Structure 1
Amino acid sequence: MSSQDNINYCRIAEAINFIKDNFKSQPSLDEIAEQINLSPYHFQRLFTDWAGTSPKKFLQYISIEHAKKLLKGHQASLFDTAHETGLSGTSRLHDLFITIEGMTPAEYKNGGKDLAINYSFAKSPFGNILVASTEKGICYMAFSEDELISISELKKHFPNATYRKRIDLFQQNALCVFTNDWAKLDQVKLHLRGTDFQLKVWQTLLKIPQGQLSSYGVIANEIEKPKASRAVGTATGSNPVAFLIPCHRVIQGSGNLGGYMWGNTRKSAIIAWESAKVDS
């Protein structure tokens, strides 16, 4: 690392610590930039290059994580949560949740209450898989080494939902992807919850053809966020629907596989399997 890189790193670290320590006052871009003796313009560019997101977005992420802790377990009302997070009112809290979490604060607080989720386990060429659906479509799909742990992970997404071990048409259509019954893929419906950015990344992943690979940088360019490769990697890694949303088709620009929520050995096997399917 060059001396200038080291200086820039120290500046960004100082800015991050300042945001974490002062998020309740919701500091402006000018106030944060002043702390590290940079103009707002140069600070914005430097922070975005190093952190993969803008100072404003980073402040929002810090704020919403604090708000989520307050809302969990019904520890605070929406008004109190907004006040404790440094927001001017519940309307700003509402806007923040919609932007970052893709749901309202009330929906987050009730953890999927009144939502009925069917789930089942099935075999795939790459091990057992858990698939879950609502009345709108597939909401979760994950490779499963242990059924109890897998169900526990599912329930973290919707802690107050009602669960039934039952296979339905949504799940049957989704599982056709492993038997190569591509005729039914247009019948697969997804019920996804995420931020606008995450949904945009996941939508772009769906466009990668079987047997082909892309990179985080290419995805970032396709969603018109060329400097957001790290954020794209984070959104790809938070994909709640294994295989159907093909995050396994995204690798590093260097050619390395990169990470995979369900293991790099499985990722390599899936890529090879899809390539063989296309060749045949």
Structure 2
Amino acid sequence: PPGYIAALPAPVGSPGESQVSFFPNADAAQEQGYRPCKRCRPEETSSEDTDTQLVRLAHAYLASGHPEPVALEQVSAQTGVTPTRLRKAFNNVTSLSFSQFADARRLDQLKTRLQKGQDVTSALYDSGYSSTIRLYEKAPAQLGMTPNTYRKGGQNVEITYAVIDWSLGQILVAATDKGVCAVRLGDDAATLESDLKE
């Protein structure tokens, strides 16, 4: 058989992008010869509503690595539903449009690459931005500073932050005079503050 059907996220680890196929549901995968994984038992985890399953499937596809911006139509083709249906699922589950979700994911990838020391130009293209102009237009509001300053860990930039209790633990929000530069979720303030300083 071609492979196994796994629940998202798979407990066995993440396979490489070339080893992953996406289907709208387990039945569609089984029609192609895939078998349910005996460890994560995806057929038993189908109690989630369809919208949540679609968003998880789309998120897994987006997370599999795409250096260029991914269109809604491309993701909907991978999930086996129409663009309109996928757009509604994103709105119902995340309260975000697909494009807002994809933008946030792209920004997250950019931040990670910059924090690892990748040069700004490579990081922006590898994260799916189409031009430096688009990034620099949005950078102050989205990063709280220029991309190069963010890459250097915000050196010589005054960053203020607050840690707030909320239903899932604690949330740290940090900002400069230009915009929000970090939002972190965690269980204790000391760890969140330490992560921010790194």
**Secondary structure of the structure 1 residue equivalent to 2:64:** helix
Matches within 5 A, 1:1-280: 6-73=49-116, 75-115=117-157, 139-141=160-162, 191=177, 193-194=179-180
Corresponding letter in the other structure for 2:180: G
From the superposition, tell whether residues 70 and 141 of structure 1 become closer, same or farther in structure 2 (CA, over 3 Å). Answer: closer
From the superposition, tell whether residues 48 and 101 of structure 1 become closer, same or farther in structure 2 (CA, over 3 Å). Answer: farther
How far is 1:27 from its partner?
1.0
Contact 2:68–2:126 under 8 Å retained in 1: no
Name the CA distance, whole Å, in 2 between partners of 1:33 and 1:71: 30
How far is 1:15 from its partner?
0.8
How far is 1:94 from its partner?
2.3
Q: Count the aligned residue pairs.
A: 137
Corresponding letter in the other structure for 2:135: L
Contact 2:54–2:86 under 8 Å retained in 1: no
Name the CA distance, whole Å, in 1 between partners of 2:149 and 2:104: 18
Corresponding letter in the other structure for 1:93: L
Give the TM-score taking structure 2 as reference length. Answer: 0.53
How far is 1:16 from its partner?
0.9
Name structure 2 gaps, 5 residues minimum: 1-45, 165-171, 190-198
Give the TM-score taking structure 1 as reference length. Answer: 0.40
Q: Deviations over 1:145-200 (max 9, x none)?
A: xxxxxxxxx9xx69xxxxxxxxxxxxxxxxxxxxxxxxxxxxxxx957328xx9xx
Name the CA distance, whole Å, in 2 between partners of 1:34 and 1:107: 38
Name the CA distance, whole Å, in 1 between partners of 2:85 and 2:104: 22
Task: Report the structure, 1 or 2, having the larger helix content.
Answer: 1
Name structure 1 gaps, 5 residues minimum: 118-133, 144-153, 159-189, 199-234, 239-258, 263-280
Contact 1:23–1:62 under 8 Å retained in 2: no
Higher radius of gyration, 1 or 2: 1
Partner of 2:21: none
Contact 2:110–2:127 under 8 Å retained in 1: yes
Residue identity over aligned pairs, in percent, reads: 18
From the superposition, tell whether residues 36 and 56 of structure 1 become closer, same or farther in structure 2 (CA, over 3 Å). Answer: same
> Cα RMSD between the aligned structures?
3.8
**Secondary structure of the structure 2 residue equivalent to 1:24:** coil
From the superposition, tell whether residues 104 and 28 of structure 1 become closer, same or farther in structure 2 (CA, over 3 Å). Answer: same
Name the CA distance, whole Å, in 1 between partners of 2:162 and 2:112: 26
Name the CA distance, whole Å, in 1 between partners of 2:140 and 2:66: 19
Segments of 4+ in structure 1 off by > 4 A? 259-262
